[in-house]
Amino acid sequence: MTTPDAGGPSGLEPHVTLQAVTRTFAGQQSTPAVHALGPVDLTLRKGEFFAVVGPSGCGKSTLLEVLAGISQPTSGQVIFEGQPVKGRVPEGVGVVFQEDACFPWLNVTDNIALGLQALPLSETERRQRVEDALALTGLKAFAQAFPAQLSGGMRQRVCIARTLIMRPRLILLDEPFGALDQQTRLLMGEEVLRLWRQSGATIFLITHALDEAAMLADRIGVMSARPGRLIDLVETGWPRERDSRVVELPQFGQLTARLWRSLRGESLKSLDSSQATQ
Amino acid sequence: MSRLSRYRLLAIIVAVAIVEAMCRIGWIDRFTMQPPLQIAIDLWKLLVSGKHLDAIGKTMGNAAIGFVLAVSAGVVVAVAVHRRRLLRETLEPLFATYYAIPVLAFYPLLIILFGVGDAPKITIAFMLGVIAVIVNLLNGLDRVPPVLIKTARVVGMGPTQIVWRVTLPFSAPYLLTGVKFALAYSLIGIIGSEFIMSTDGMGFEISFAYNNFDNATMYPLIVLILLISISLNFALGTIEKQILQRRGLR
């Protein structure tokens, strides 16, 4: 799970760039088209931990899907490692979704190994990667278990392991801990930090939890209500070696306060519009 | 064996015992029905004599062909129709009313089209089963969570791989429901056709025995069909149970 630059400081080298990206969902006969996102301009630096917070329904997930190449931007483009992203998810990009993405008919090992078939690996290498991913995510004892036998947190670990096993250079996390309780979330956050340091990958995390963003990220983007645009960028200034105990520091309180100041008005807008449509 | 299955077995044994008693006492006369024990003995003799093995082979072979055709065509059509909205919205009401059609009534047409032989019988078995496979598999394909498909795309699967490795395996329990119907319908289709338009097969032998008051042949053959159909259905049920248990659904 390690690459040569693991543990190195996050450089200023651009890793992925969004250029004036927008996304509009075409309407049906009775419903109007929805302008969900953008325009968004954003550059993620190689190896940084970037978090996005925004009011619910602001197009965060749409942003992630466009970034991943799962859906096409209506206008603008995404450049990943110098290449425009077109129609498919580029090699080197991994995604962990908010919903449970375990395949219920596969055991943990087969779930984790889902993507390995596409890689030119020998049987030994394949087994080694599975072993590593199981160990890294603490799933060794559950290798033969089926998802139905695991808790929600464990199933999310399976999805993380499945992403890590592909050794992605860009990892996109769409509220991966949204369904977990607060304490589990803090601890899973620590694990993500550890995996981020070990892998040297760039991480893009979407969350609605301000404290989660403030605790985990190097930089935080704040999104507006729909159509989602970036309205603020905050540098946290945390050292690379960090864990959930940063919540004790005074800067942590200042950071979450700053985020909330940027976000409060947008959250109110989003609340009003969702009430208006009900 | 669970307590419930033991009760179920007991209920069947009691019912058969009552029929046995009614036959022996004479409340049911011998021309109407043989006592169950006698049927069992006749069935054993019939199988040992090998007299009707050709007919049994014929029927089962044709049913198997009709079944395999219905399942494979059903899977292909369901997968093809599933994402094509216009096609699907056009066809779906037709699927829903399909079983109002008495397929067996078309046998003269099928004989004109295919001639006398196995083809019209297999066609009827196929026609009875295929729509059940399509309808049930569509139901399963509709339930695939979008996140599984997104995950598959992220790990680099193309549309064909997604069908084989994601949507079809996810829909397996629903497909299996369709497969169970196709199995029952293929036997119904073949045996039903043999009654009305055949000179061989178990259906023909049963109706021939019936016309000759040959209860020692007719009842054993009926029971044999029952046994085959029930055991195949039970085998599929066991697979279904395993799949659902693994997924924590039962």
How does pLDDT run along chain A (278 residues), one tens digit per residue?
Answer: 333 343 344 457 888 998 888 888 887 777 788 888 878 899 999 999 999 998 877 888 889 999 998 888 889 899 898 889 888 889 899 999 988 899 999 999 999 999 898 888 888 999 999 998 998 888 899 999 999 999 888 898 899 999 989 989 999 999 888 777 778 788 888 888 988 998 889 999 998 888 888 889 999 999 888 888 888 888 888 888 888 888 888 888 888 988 898 888 787 877 777 665 54
Of B147, B156, B243, the CB nearest to A99: B147
Residue A260 at interface with chain B, using a CB cutoff of 8 Å: no
Summarize pLDDT for B75-91 with one digit per residue, the tens. 999 999 998 989 999 99
- The answer to whether the Cβ–Cβ distance between A101 and B166 falls below 8 Å is no
Domain count within chain A: 1
Q: DSSP for A58-120?
A: SSHHHHHHHHHTSS--SEEEEEETTEE--SSPPTTEEEE-SS----TTS-HHHHHGGGGGGS-
Whole-number Å distance between alpha carbons of A204 and A53: 11
The pLDDT score that the predictor gives to residue A105 is: 94
Q: What are the beta bridge partners of residue A50?
A: A204, A219
Residue range(s) defining the domain that contains residue B135? 39-246
The pLDDT score that the predictor gives to residue A238 is: 87
pTM of the model as a whole: 0.83
Residue range(s) defining the domain that contains residue A230? 14-25+35-92+168-276
- CATH number of the structural domain spanning residue A265: 3.40.50.300
B220's tokens: 């054993």
Residue B244 at interface with chain A, using a CB cutoff of 8 Å: no
Q: DSSP for A224-272?
A: PSSSB-EEEEEE----SS--GGGGGSHHHHHHHHHHHHHHHHHHHHHHH
Mean pLDDT lowest for which of A198-202, A274-278, B70-74, B164-168? A274-278
Does a structural domain hold residue A119? no
Summarize pLDDT for B86-120 with one digit per residue, the tens. 999 999 999 989 988 888 888 889 989 988 889 99
Whole-number Å distance between alpha carbons of B66 and B185: 9
Q: How far is CA B3 from CA B7, B231, B249, in A?
A: 6, 20, 21
Whole-number Å distance between alpha carbons of A228 and A36: 6
Does a structural domain hold residue A109? no
The pLDDT score that the predictor gives to residue A241 is: 86
The pLDDT score that the predictor gives to residue A276 is: 58
Residue environment code for B42-78, b if the CB has 16+ CB neighbours within 10 A, otherwise e: bbeebeeeeebeebbebbbebbbbbbebbbeebbebb
Helix and strand element counts for chain B (H, E): 11, 0
Domain count within chain B: 1
Summarize pLDDT for B174-233 with one digit per residue, the tens. 999 999 999 999 999 999 999 988 888 999 999 999 999 888 899 999 999 999 999 999
- The answer to whether the Cβ–Cβ distance between B155 and A68 falls below 8 Å is no
- CATH number of the structural domain spanning residue B67: 1.10.3720.10
Does a structural domain hold residue B214? yes
Whole-number Å distance between alpha carbons of B150 and B129: 33
Q: Considering only alpha carbons, which residue of chain B is nearest residue A150?
A: B248
Does a structural domain hold residue A190? yes
- The answer to whether the Cβ–Cβ distance between B172 and A105 falls below 8 Å is yes
Does a structural domain hold residue A232? yes
The pLDDT score that the predictor gives to residue A86 is: 85
Question: How does residue B129 score in pLDDT terms, banded at 50, 70 and 90?
Answer: very high
The count of other CB atoms within 10 Å of the CB of residue A149 is 14
Residue B247 at interface with chain A, using a CB cutoff of 8 Å: yes
Of A115, A147, A159, the CB nearest to B156: A115
The pLDDT score that the predictor gives to residue A231 is: 86
Give the type of residue at A241: E
Whole-number Å distance between alpha carbons of A48 and A66: 19
* Average pLDDT rounded to a whole number, residues B32-56: 91
Q: Tokens 């159909």 identify what position?
A: B229
Question: Residues A14, A18, A23, CA angle at the centre, nearest 5°?
Answer: 165
The pLDDT score that the predictor gives to residue B171 is: 95
